[in-house]
Structure 1
Amino acid sequence: MASPTLLNPAERAEQSDKRAQIAGLRERISRLQGRPGEAARPLDTHPALAGIVQLRAGGTYAVAPEHGGAGLALAMLAGPSAVGGWGAVVGMPDFGVEAAAGLGVRLDRTVLVPDPGSLWLETVAALVDVVTVVVVRAPGRVTEAQASKLAARLRTREAALVSLGAWPRADVRLAVETPRWAGAGRGEGHLRARQVTVAVQRGTAPPRRTELWFPDGELRLRHAEAPVVDVRDVG
């Protein structure tokens, strides 16, 4: 019968160091690869979105631009911004300062690059090094190679990217659906609030839908506790 190998203290210490090095390398590789099932660090999220989508370091989020998708993208920036994190908005020359501030985005901690031109990818990559969340509207179709390059950088820097528009292999896809306005009365009032359905899809799972006031009567984003009357049905 084979006997166990006996190691002297020096050999045991050397093997222990090697095991620690191997474990460290495995952890680093796993972090860079972003293996499924390994929880990334959660980032602060707007209270109205906290139960809908959790921002995570290294994550990519694609928001459909229809029905005010830009506002939803900015709301995702608002969570980290409200607690002092830096953010950036790239490729959105129509960025609404008042709307962003109303959502909780700190303008004094937000970098704006309205028109990066053909250097949008390099601009986003540089900003990922210094901010927590980047909201970007790419000037055209984003390729798999471009998305992969940024994904590795996001994981390394523990930042998140929110794309206004399609993004290859996005971790989460969001869309604003079926907007309904309230407050018109019998046609003599003013539109005061809008209720929307926000659809959130992770991977191939069916999308989950949540009702939100966006905005409510005080221009805030919050959960909808009761349905609104569609102004098209008001007599």
Structure 2
Amino acid sequence: PTDVRARIGYMPENDAYIPGMNAVTFVAYCGQLSGLGAADAMQRAHEVLYYTGLGEARYRAVETYSTGMKQRIKLAQALVHDPELLFLDEPTNGMDPKGRDEMLELVRDLAHNKGISLVLSSHLLPDVEYVCDHVVVIDKGQVATHGPIADLKGPGGRVYELRVKGDEVAFVSALQGVGMECHRTDEDIMRVFVPEGLSWRDLFLMASQRGVQVRHLRPSVPSLEDVFARAVGEQEAITHERSVD
């Protein structure tokens, strides 16, 4: 229904432009589909194309755009009718680092300064953490965790970067046995979540007991990636328990 389309904007992951149309005509057409009159749609098309950084290229055919420019026009068509709620599906997909940063600034501006509520779907957790206030983590079709990002990142405990030499498998198993959570970030660094009641001293103690050398230990700020790793680990444990039962 038109009244619903007028309140919701949608930026799809896949390209969905009309070949042969230039950018301003395409965005104005999308505005008309969402309930704007022809004159208002054209005026808004110019405005949102400038806002998204495509003002100088608004008369070019959309199919001649680069990947980053196509991402911008998808955002422009989602904004042209000034929606209350915006759905963004992988908005930085295929963009170079500079374009990605600029897109995130636009999205953050919409959420924090323009009063638009938005739902962002992305596998790039740093993007989500930069833009969003709340998160829903979905793993294999199930909600693994949800809530304000600040609350999910800030339960009691600390995160450490750790590198060891020795029987790492047995060491990690021992850490997990007392409630610590571990996940690897690269070839030799792991991140360890130490819950309340335990401290970094316990890492050294358990390493010493198992003949493992601690080569590197540094406190780290909890990130959304830590939240995801913990949530997915807990979800897998629940799934395993149900399968055993």
- The verdict on a shared fold, with TM-score over 0.5 as the criterion, is no
Q: Which has the higher helix share?
A: 2
- Normalising to structure 2: TM-score of the pair? 0.30
- Normalising to structure 1: TM-score of the pair? 0.31
